[in-house]
C-alpha cells in the first residue's frame, strides 16, 4: 500500500497534512500521536470513508471510496465498536461477510471462529446492547478479523480492554500481519505501539517516522 501526500480537510481545518507512507504485506504499523492529531482521519481516509486529496493505492489499484476499498479487501475496526446494538454479537460479525457475498454457513463459521479468538464464543447469541464496553470492543475486533482482510485498519482497538484482553487483541493483530495482511493501528498507548513493527507519529496532521518496519 502506498499513500502519497494524503490530506484530509474538514472545512478550513486540516486534519491530515500531506502524509506519505508505504506499507507491505506482513507489516504491522502503529500510527501514534496526541488526541486530535489526525490518527482516526488518516485511517478513515485509507478506508475510503472520508474525502481526501493525494493518492491512496493498494497494489496497482486506487482505493477511491468506501465501496471500492471494501472490494479491495480493506477492513476497519472502528473506535467505539460501532455495533448494531439490537443485533447479536454473532450477527454483527456475520453481517459484513454476507454483504460481500459470503454464504450464510461460511459467514456463521467465520464469525464463530473470530468470536472464539477474542474469548467471546459463549456470547455470540447476546444482543450487543447487553454486552459491556470491553466486550463490544472485542466483538468489533472479531468483526474485523473475520473479514480476512488484505489491509486491516484498527482505530484504538485496545482502549476499553483490561490487560489480558489487550494482550490478546494485540497478539491477534500480530497474527493477521503474520498471515500476510497489512495491519495499521491508531493508538495513543505507547505500550500497544511497541508491539508493532514500525511507528508513524502524527503531530497536528503531519507525519514523522519514529520506527521503520
pLDDT tens track for 60-84:
999 989 999 999 999 999 998 899 9
The reported pLDDT for the residue numbered 105 is 97
pTM here? 0.95
Residue 155 grid coordinates: 482505530
Contacts (Cβ under 8 Å, ≥6 apart) of 26 = 177, 178, 180, 181, 182
Map the chain to HEC letters.
Answer: CEEEEEEEEECCEEEEEEEEEECCCCCEEEEECCCCCCHHHHHHHHCCCCCCEEEEEECCEECCCHHHHHHHCEEEECCCCCCCCCCEHHHHHHHHHHHCCCCHHHHHHHHHHHHHHCCCCCCCCCEHHHCCHHHHHHHHHHHHHHCCCCEEEEECCCCCCCHHHHHHHHHHHHHHHHCCCEEEEECCCHHHHCCCCEEEEEECCEEEEEECC
β-strand pairing of 13-22 with 2-10: antiparallel
Contacts (Cβ under 8 Å, ≥6 apart) of 80 = none
- The answer to whether the beta carbons of residues 36 and 25 sit under 8 Å apart is no
When pLDDT is cut at 50, 70 and 90, the band that residue 212 belongs to is confident
When pLDDT is cut at 50, 70 and 90, the band that residue 149 belongs to is very high
Which CATH number is 2-73+149-211 given? 3.40.50.300
* Bridge partners, residue 201, by sequence: 32, 208
pLDDT digits (tens, 9 = 90+) for 97-135: 999 999 999 999 999 999 999 999 999 999 999 999 999
Q: Where are the domains of the chain?
A: 2-73+149-211, 83-136
Cα 193 → chain centroid: 14
Amino acid at each position: 500500500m502506498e499513500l502519497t501526500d494524503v490530506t484530509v480537510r474538514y472545512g478550513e481545518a486540516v486534519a491530515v497534512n500531506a502524509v506519505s507512507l508505504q506499507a507491505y504485506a506482513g507489516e504491522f504499523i502503529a500510527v501514534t500521536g496526541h488526541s486530535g492529531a489526525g490518527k482516526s482521519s488518516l485511517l478513515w481516509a485509507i478506508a475510503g470513508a472520508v474525502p481526501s486529496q493525494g493518492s491512496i493505492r493498494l497494489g496497482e489499484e486506487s482505493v477511491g471510496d468506501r465501496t471500492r476499498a471494501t472490494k479491495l479487501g480493506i477492513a476497519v475496526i472502528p473506535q467505539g465498536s460501532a455495533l448494531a446494538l439490537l443485533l447479536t454479537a454473532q450477527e454483527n460479525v456475520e453481517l459484513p461477510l454476507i454483504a460481500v457475498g459470503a454464504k450464510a454457513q461460511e459467514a456463521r463459521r467465520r464469525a464463530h471462529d473470530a468470536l472464539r479468538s477474542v474469548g467471546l464464543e459463549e456470547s455470540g447469541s447476546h444482543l450487543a446492547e447487553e454486552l459491556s464496553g470491553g466486550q463490544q470492543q472485542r466483538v468489533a475486533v472479531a468483526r474485523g478479523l473475520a473479514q480476512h482482510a488484505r489491509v486491516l485498519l484498527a482505530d484504538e482497538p485496545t482502549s476499553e480492554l483490561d490487560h489480558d484482553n489487550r494482550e490478546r487483541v494485540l497478539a491477534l493483530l500480530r497474527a493477521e500481519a503474520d498471515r500476510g495482511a497489512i495491519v495499521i493501528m491508531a493508538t495513543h498507548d505507547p505500550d500497544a505501539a511497541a508491539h508493532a513493527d514500525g511507528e508513524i507519529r502524527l503531530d497536528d496532521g503531519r507525519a514523522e517516522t519514529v520506527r521503520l518496519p
